[in-house]
């Protein structure tokens, strides 16, 4: 499931667009969403709509009956044709994917089938249903396409060099979108999004792992956690900003691909340090390589260790995006910066505040803290100043 999906509906519903080409209707179909607007959710043995449950309870997020959930799978072309033919969307956002880079090395074939060929199945379904001239298609591309970077910073014209099965699968998806755009005149765009985070990020991603672990340490529920490459550097932004960029790409007159990024670069090590600083702890690093540890200066306790199992077989060391084109043509710019409204602080604050209510555990941030209509965080039973 693509991480920003839970934020996508909140933006689409808030935009209030009810006009559209030809029929005057505007309907968004979003894959990998676990339920928003017309959303496709992959069937599983457990009910997996937890990340968007809050949207059903928020009258500002949707009008009753306008959020419809469809079971489907990007590996099943027949179901995709049925859903698209039934919904007849005017916009499609393909966010569905096996999106964990490290896991893609263990599930390489599955990742290729879903992330690569799954995109082709969706495009073919649009063509089969005769919607080439009436639908706009957004493909969730990725900064992992750049992998072993060929220039710094990376922009739309930077050569690709993926370093994982995930990146390679997304590379196929990127070019098949370009092919459908050129061969059939489909309005199809690739959003090459750099890392974008939120409290709804999957718990096995490094940013959420850090923020949740730091919150648990603060609450006395954990003493130490392990990470992989501390020196990997990424361009981190916030999912809400990036979902706005996705929507803007489909509101243009001509389809174009865009890099979406903040232009700022920070290491995993720095993310750890800032997260701990948020709870009043200073991390001091000792040792080298796999023997390196992060020790709390104030207490002397080791809170962070390095474990080789979290390293990728082929690492991506440095990613930094150049979103000049998006700023110029979409009038888009990131509003949540790493330092001013530090992502690590944002994520950590959500979990610490939720868990400090005496419930004895870490809850999903989105269930307790919701985006308000003005774009701020609030909590009904414990009002706080806006975090953003």
- Point out the catalytic residue in the list 144, 197, 364, 370: 144
Picking from 197, 78, 194, 177, the residue whose alpha carbon sits closest to that of residue 136 is 177
Q: How far apart are CA 354 and CA 367, in angstroms?
A: 9
Residues 304 and 216 sit within 8 Å (Cβ to Cβ): no
Residues 29 and 72 sit within 8 Å (Cβ to Cβ): no
**Whether 273 is catalytic:** no
The token duo for 357 is 């209510």
- Point out the catalytic residue in the list 34, 111, 142, 158: 142
Residue that has been written with the tokens 């003005």 in this structure: 374
Give the DSSP H or E segment for 139. strand 136-142
Residues 77 and 71 sit within 8 Å (Cβ to Cβ): no
Residues 214 and 165 sit within 8 Å (Cβ to Cβ): no
* Phi–psi pair at 71, nearest 5 degrees: -80, 130
SS3 10: helix
The token duo for 30 is 């979003």
Residues 95 and 4 sit within 8 Å (Cβ to Cβ): yes
The token duo for 53 is 């449950």
Residues 252 and 187 sit within 8 Å (Cβ to Cβ): no
The token duo for 322 is 């150049």
**Whether 166 is catalytic:** yes
Residue that has been written with the tokens 């457990």 in this structure: 46
- Point out the catalytic residue in the list 11, 93, 138, 166: 166
Residues 271 and 205 sit within 8 Å (Cβ to Cβ): no
* Phi–psi pair at 93, nearest 5 degrees: -115, 110
**Whether 142 is catalytic:** yes
Give the DSSP H or E segment for 241. helix 239-249
Residue that has been written with the tokens 């390196």 in this structure: 292
Catalytic center residues: 142, 144, 166
């Amino acid at each position: 499931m693509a991480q920003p999906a839970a934020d996508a509906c909140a933006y689409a519903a808030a935009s209030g667009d009810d006009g559209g080409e030809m029929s005057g209707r505007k309907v968004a179909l979003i894959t990998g969403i676990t339920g928003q607007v017309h959303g496709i959710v992959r069937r599983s043995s457990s009910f997996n709509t937890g990340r968007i449950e809050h949207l059903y309870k928020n009258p500002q997020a949707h009008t009753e009956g306008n959020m419809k959930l469809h079971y489907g799978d990007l590996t099943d072309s027949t179901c995709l044709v049925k859903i698209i033919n039934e919904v007849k969307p005017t916009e499609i956002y393909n966010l569905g994917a096996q999106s964990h880079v490290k896991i893609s090395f263990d599930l390489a074939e599955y990742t290729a089938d879903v992330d690569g060929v799954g995109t082709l199945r969706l495009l073919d379904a649009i063509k089969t249903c005769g919607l080439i001239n009436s639908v706009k298609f957004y493909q969730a591309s990725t900064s992992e396409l750049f992998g072993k970077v060929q220039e710094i910073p990376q922009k739309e014209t930077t050569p690709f060099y993926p370093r994982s099965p995930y990146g390679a699968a997304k590379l196929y998806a990127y070019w098949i979108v370009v092919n459908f755009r050129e061969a059939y005149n489909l309005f199809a765009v690739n959003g090459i999004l750099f890392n974008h985070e939120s409290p709804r990020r999957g718990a096995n991603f490094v940013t959420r792992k850090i923020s949740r672990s730091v919150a648990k340490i603060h609450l006395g529920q954990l003493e130490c956690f392990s990470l992989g490459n501390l020196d990997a550097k990424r361009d981190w932004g916030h999912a809400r900003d990036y979902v706005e960029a996705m929507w803007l790409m489909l509101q243009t007159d001509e389809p174009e691909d865009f890099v979406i990024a903040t232009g700022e670069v920070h290491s995993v090590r720095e993310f750890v340090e800032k997260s701990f600083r948020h709870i009043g702890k200073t991390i001091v690093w000792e040792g080298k390589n796999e023997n390196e540890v992060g020790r709390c200066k104030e207490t002397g306790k080791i809170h962070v260790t390095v474990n080789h199992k979290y390293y990728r077989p082929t690492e991506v060391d440095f990613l930094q995006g150049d979103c000049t084109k998006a700023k110029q043509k979409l009038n888009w710019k990131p509003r949540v910066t790493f330092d001013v409204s530090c992502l690590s602080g944002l994520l950590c604050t959500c979990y610490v505040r939720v868990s400090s209510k005496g419930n004895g555990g870490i809850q999903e941030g989105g269930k307790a803290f919701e985006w308000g209509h003005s774009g701020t965080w609030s909590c009904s039973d414990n009002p706080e100043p806006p975090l953003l």
